[in-house]
Structure 1
């Protein structure tokens, strides 16, 4: 039997997992080529040196209740890398001071006025308290931005001080750039079922408390997982070269720079996907190019042991606080294994969708901005012993209103093209577990076509 030939375009976690799953299914004789346009493998996962230490400067955690990452670590013999954060809670900086992160919320949307009593003023509290008594209309299946829904019902301060800080951490966006249906599916379901107010819908959509840690991470950073996937995949890897086009042939697919293959997985950002499928799937191309991207910057800092961090896992920053940093991860507090190191480690995240200020600063300017905001929120004015700046241009897709319709249009168009599959953070979640699931599904479909 002739060995199968596959191409995977995109060397982020989605592309690596797709290639790994193909290798698992097809065995050592399959010819698998992984093509990545940038100079490095890993996409928005990267473990970088910060002085004599190392720290994840892209994604640093994953949702613990999802099984994909622990299962993949077990497959690769890396279960001993699995770690969990400390029980310390984050703070929110607003109104010139820090506040405890509100409890009893759904991505910052309160289930009662009590949830945000410390964050918003008396007028907005009354707006929340009386929300269930005001007329409310919702059309099942409709979609609006989170800001439009929450701001109208609960007031603008809830959006800027409670919702924006959480959405900014997930999407590098804000409540105005993120659609409710894609980002908050349980809330959409509660509204579609006929909730008579937003208060009622949020209460119905709150997750049931479950035992165990909410998040997980890797002791030595995501680089360990990336290296293991590269080794296990045993693919021919081409970096620094983008694929300019793909064409359907009578016996498979022709991929520029690779040649004729039996199947291809496009694990690339949505705008790149739109360009690559413009000729073979125009409807998918149009939908993909309507998914916009947000850029961000991470400044990783190492301080001497004498630097004192608050006893919290991080500090989120309200969008009306007048600062540039959107969040600080107090890494040495959040992760017990990092707290054992000599240096005090933390990360500052800057940049939101639609605002290019952070991306346009130099590295030196980014570090100084991070230090100034750190002094404002945590009264830390020490100088770092080391700093690393990581830029993520177009790093995260924006799940704008109508996002699920765009994804459905892409998937429907590609379904008519046997041997072509898609995967990535634009599909059904920006987190690492969702990307692993997306890639696993894409690879499984390719294998099914070959049978």
Structure 2
């Protein structure tokens, strides 16, 4: 077995392969110098802090289960607070109670936040008297939500919340793919406010923490999963070609002048959509064409470590989101030492802040050098939080093409990809481009891919046994 890609989806696939059949020989190939993809941690101000994803959904089990199976169950920790805000019209304001991914369920609760203007708030109330908005096929989040409750809700609530996940635009992102519960309600309910109330009411009051992380940072998860899988991990190995052979698959790696051929019974392609399209172009052109259409957004994470005395008051919440209509380069701020008490315990005299910069279509800001990105983040802290003085340490981590965009029609596109891949025996795909960008979703896609190729190998082995002489 060969897995192409050592992000968390590929490593999860390798782990599931080894668990299902300890006799399988697994090799994981990755062109980068390290494994883990967007999961990576390093020290800032002497404290180990994630440079990529810093939390995973706790209410979806696949991520936690993978961590436990990799021996990290006791390292799972929960946030001290998840009370985030929205920067709207110059002030950080609380998110409205009962919202569903930014969709308000209570007009009075929304009014108390001050996020919307009086005109925007009046427009929200029209939802309950407007005629139904028909949604026969997938539409953008912005188009549907805007039609029901107005553009200000899209600009100042939906866009920053979706931007925190996809760094994308609400007028392009798929309602079906990014907000499936709201999409389902849109086809049965006339009022979006009423639908949001019903969805909010279904959330169990004792469901437990929404997020979790690892005490040493999620950057430690890939190494633990790799060890648990027992797979042979090869970094710095770029796969350039993938072709079908009579007995399985052949991969071509390395530079053209010193290429290496790797033969496999089955292959899992666990790289982002663009390189996956290049690998599949020869043998699965229909899947390749669909994957090539998936756009990616780039971003950067600027992490600052301040002395606690630099803040006039300690940050009270986990952070805040910044709508693009505010015209600021920083799109989200996380007060890491407030959100995660274990980071504060590492050095009680520090406040560690993570600032996310860059959205889809804002590549120009990411062309600035590291010093300028740090300056953007520092200015944000000075202007919004009243921070005085300079950070004692900083780190800039750039994620070029880091987040796949689930644009309108995404679910149908992925169905076509999977149908084309399914026609190729011993081949599967997984990763953030398919069913979700979070760690649990990626882990689940790795498990699905492993199951598919194992079913093929088992069927092939059974067919070979039936054909043995003397049966």
> Per the shorter chain, which TM-score range?
over 0.9
* Secondary structure, counterpart of 1:109 in structure 2: coil
Task: Tell me the equivalent position of 2:94.
Answer: 100
Q: How far apart are the structure 2 equivalents of 1:42 and 1:201?
A: 39
Q: CA deviation at 1:392?
A: 0.3
**Could you list the per-position Cα deviations for residues 344-371 of structure 1 after superposition, in whole angstroms to 9, with x for gaps in the alignment?**
2110001111210332111111100110
Task: Tell me the equivalent position of 1:344.
Answer: 351
Contact kept in structure 2, 1:7 and 1:32, CA below 8 Å = yes
1:379 maps to 2:386? yes
**Structure 2, unpaired ranges of 5+:** 254-260, 459-471
Q: Which moved more, 1:18-27 or 1:40-49?
A: 18-27
Q: How far apart are the structure 2 equivalents of 1:256 and 1:25?
A: 27
Contact kept in structure 2, 1:301 and 1:346, CA below 8 Å = yes
* Secondary structure, counterpart of 1:98 in structure 2: strand
Q: How far apart are the structure 2 equivalents of 1:49 and 1:87?
A: 23
Which of 258, 262, 271 is 1:259 aligned to?
A: 262
Task: Tell me the equivalent position of 1:3.
Answer: none
Q: How far apart are the structure 1 equivalents of 2:177 and 2:365?
A: 26
**Could you list the per-position Cα deviations for residues 82-119 of structure 1 after superposition, in whole angstroms to 9, with x for gaps in the alignment?**
00001351121110111112221111011232242121
**Could you list the per-position Cα deviations for residues 152-190 of structure 1 after superposition, in whole angstroms to 9, with x for gaps in the alignment?**
322222112111111111111131231111001111111
1:279 maps to 2:286? no
Q: How far apart are the structure 2 equivalents of 1:237 and 1:98?
A: 45
Which of 331, 334, 349 is 1:329 aligned to?
A: 334
Which of 68, 72, 85 is 1:74 aligned to?
A: 68
Contact kept in structure 1, 2:287 and 2:417, CA below 8 Å = yes
Task: Tell me the equivalent position of 1:204.
Answer: 198
**Could you list the per-position Cα deviations for residues 408-437 of structure 1 after superposition, in whole angstroms to 9, with x for gaps in the alignment?**
000111111110000001111100000000
Task: Tell me the equivalent position of 2:302.
Answer: 299
Contact kept in structure 2, 1:106 and 1:202, CA below 8 Å = yes
Task: Tell me the equivalent position of 1:124.
Answer: 120
**Could you list the per-position Cα deviations for residues 227-249 of structure 1 after superposition, in whole angstroms to 9, with x for gaps in the alignment?**
21222233332222321111111
Which of 319, 322, 335 is 1:317 aligned to?
A: 322
Mapping for residues 175-190 of structure 1, pairs under 5 Å: 175-190=170-185
Which of 45, 66, 70 is 2:39 aligned to?
A: 45
Q: CA deviation at 1:439?
A: 0.1
**Could you list the per-position Cα deviations for residues 124-154 of structure 1 after superposition, in whole angstroms to 9, with x for gaps in the alignment?**
11111121211223133x1111111222322
Task: Tell me the equivalent position of 1:246.
Answer: 242
Mapping for residues 385-396 of structure 1, pairs under 5 Å: 385-396=392-403
Which of 17, 28, 50 is 1:34 aligned to?
A: 28
* Secondary structure, counterpart of 1:369 in structure 2: helix
Contact kept in structure 2, 1:371 and 1:381, CA below 8 Å = no
Give the direction of change, closer, same or farther, for the CA distance of 1:412–1:115 in structure 2 (3 Å limit). farther
**Could you list the per-position Cα deviations for residues 1-46 of structure 1 after superposition, in whole angstroms to 9, with x for gaps in the alignment?**
xxxxx1111111011111122222332x533221112222111111
Which of 128, 133, 146 is 2:129 aligned to?
A: 133
Which of 420, 433, 436 is 2:443 aligned to?
A: 436
Contact kept in structure 2, 1:62 and 1:217, CA below 8 Å = yes
Task: Tell me the equivalent position of 2:154.
Answer: 159
Contact kept in structure 1, 2:97 and 2:106, CA below 8 Å = no
Task: Tell me the equivalent position of 2:214.
Answer: 218
Q: Which moved more, 1:325-334 or 1:95-104?
A: 95-104
Larger radius of gyration: 2
Q: Which moved more, 1:31-40 or 1:359-368?
A: 31-40
Q: How far apart are the structure 1 equivalents of 2:307 and 2:155?
A: 34
Q: CA deviation at 1:223?
A: 2.8
Mapping for residues 54-69 of structure 1, pairs under 5 Å: 54-69=48-63
Which of 400, 412, 415 is 1:405 aligned to?
A: 412
* Secondary structure, counterpart of 1:344 in structure 2: strand
Give the direction of change, closer, same or farther, for the CA distance of 1:160–1:381 in structure 2 (3 Å limit). farther
Which of 209, 227, 230 is 1:231 aligned to?
A: 227
Q: Which moved more, 1:437-446 or 1:152-161?
A: 152-161
Which of 138, 142, 152 is 1:143 aligned to?
A: 138
Q: How far apart are the structure 2 equivalents of 1:382 and 1:422?
A: 49
Contact kept in structure 1, 2:103 and 2:193, CA below 8 Å = no
Q: How far apart are the structure 2 equivalents of 1:240 and 1:54?
A: 25
Task: Tell me the equivalent position of 1:195.
Answer: 189
Contact kept in structure 1, 2:126 and 2:149, CA below 8 Å = no
Give the direction of change, closer, same or farther, for the CA distance of 1:363–1:424 in structure 2 (3 Å limit). same
Contact kept in structure 2, 1:102 and 1:162, CA below 8 Å = no
* Secondary structure, counterpart of 1:232 in structure 2: helix
Task: Tell me the equivalent position of 1:418.
Answer: 425
Q: CA deviation at 1:73?
A: 2.1
**Structure 1, unpaired ranges of 5+:** 1-5
Contact kept in structure 2, 1:297 and 1:358, CA below 8 Å = no
Q: How far apart are the structure 2 equivalents of 1:134 and 1:17?
A: 47
* Secondary structure, counterpart of 1:105 in structure 2: coil
Contact kept in structure 2, 1:424 and 1:435, CA below 8 Å = yes
